[in-house]
Chain A
């Protein structure tokens, strides 16, 4: 059978303007949300209060032991109910696939970012914290101005590598029929019956982006390594 490149050209706009925009927006927002929430979880896990650290630990272990596909389903059905509870509506409210996916990935990736940030915080010498207190800084100030900036810097390559994985994982929104890049490719593939071409093309695009980003992370890592 011949390889039909024309189908890619015909659907170019749909694939990238609609699909890739969805994928990249979702990745960027979930990364920011995941890192913020993950850092909070990491601080909770390292807290002296048993209840707080226990809760954060349970959350992280729970998220890490169930498959992402199941989590996507969970939130897809759960978010309308939570929304209804928040706005006191008697009926489950309608939440689009995008917001459902955004909440899912933020909550799910937070568990993974948390473990990275925890390692980052633990890699800072204790003396840094003590000197913060000795200068009269509060816990919040010590964290925000002394510990976290260093932890972020040490963990930046790992955080970015996790983000590349997040970028790849967003393709799983296929299971809730969202039109991300893969969803768009699948829709074109089924419409024109060009499965081989579209899935091969999708694989190539994901590869080019992920590989390119991982090369950038590697260079960044080398630079950080030289400075320190």
Chain B
């Protein structure tokens, strides 16, 4: 069984007329990153709020946070993607729903994809934030109270600044997850990197060249993210703490 490689396909023109296949894939990487970054903003802000609320003494806030986490953790990502794309526009008031559905091509799938990935990842960020806050010694909170800080001030000046620095490494892997997970958006028609590799395979019939190129691009992206985050981690590490290697968590 022999497969005839034909690497030159990468510099051949793609049928859409935007340039070579390689350029076509690189633009796909651009969409992957733009999707991942926008979703990351949502994930971080919502995740930080929900995670923090779950550590407060407010019973209703803890319950609400738990409910939020359980709902979005127990539904598969692709199903959530379909909910955001097919179901949510129908449930919104008609004018807004129609406006979303009638957006020009990449945006009508980009917006649901960003919302979906952002909310999906915010749950995991919330878990990390909660774990980070709970890993701080009790004394930190007590010291805050003893100094006359209010609950909110204790969080703002004592707890959160430490917690965020501690959880940076697990957040790095969540960011890499969001890059990988953005590939699920191809199911709602967003032509990101994996979607474009798939399209290239259909146009050119060069199956393994297309997927190898996409794989290599993902590996390089991952490597760059890891290197950047390592540098950042070194910078914000809390002096005196052993580098945290938390218990292994199930996940992707």
Residues on A lying within 8 angstroms of B by beta carbon are: 1, 62, 65-70, 73-74, 77-78, 81, 84-85, 88-92, 112, 115-116, 119, 155, 158-159, 161-162, 164-165, 168-169, 171-172, 174-175, 182, 186, 195-196, 199-200, 202-203, 206-207, 210-211, 214
Contacts and interface: CB of A to CB of B under 8 A. Distances in A.
Contacts of B250: 112, 116, 158-159, 161-162, 164-165
A199 B78 contact: no
B9 to A, nearest CB: 15
B214 interface: yes
A47 to B, nearest CB: 20
Contact of A116 (B70, B73, B248): B248
A207 B187 CA distance: 20
A174 B187 contact: yes
Contact of A182 (B3, B70, B78, B249): B78
B252 A112 contact: yes
Main secondary structure of the interface of B (DSSP, over half): helix
B194 A69 contact: yes
A169 B211 contact: no
A203 B80 contact: yes
B86 to A, nearest CB: 4
Contact of B218 (A67, A81, A165, A199): A67
Contacts of B78: 171-172, 174, 182
Lowest 8 CB-CB distances: which A-B pairs, in order? A210-B74, A161-B250, A67-B183, A162-B250, A168-B76, A67-B180, A84-B1, A119-B248
Contacts of B83: 199-200, 203
Interface in B86-101: 86-87, 90-91
Among B1, B183, B198, which residue has the most Cβ atoms of chain A within 10 A? B1
B176 A65 contact: yes
Contact of A171 (B76, B186, B251): B76
B245 to A, nearest CB: 10
B55 to A, nearest CB: 19
17 contacts: A62-B219, A65-B219, A68-B252, A70-B194, A70-B214, A73-B198, A158-B248, A158-B250, A162-B250, A165-B251, A168-B74, A171-B79, A175-B186, A182-B78, A199-B82, A210-B75, A211-B74
B71 interface: yes
B181 interface: yes
A68 B215 CA distance: 11
Contacts of B182: 67
A119 B248 CA distance: 7
Interface string B201-244: 10000011001001100110010000000000000000000000
A92 B1 CA distance: 8
Contacts of B184: 67, 69, 172
Contacts of B3: 81
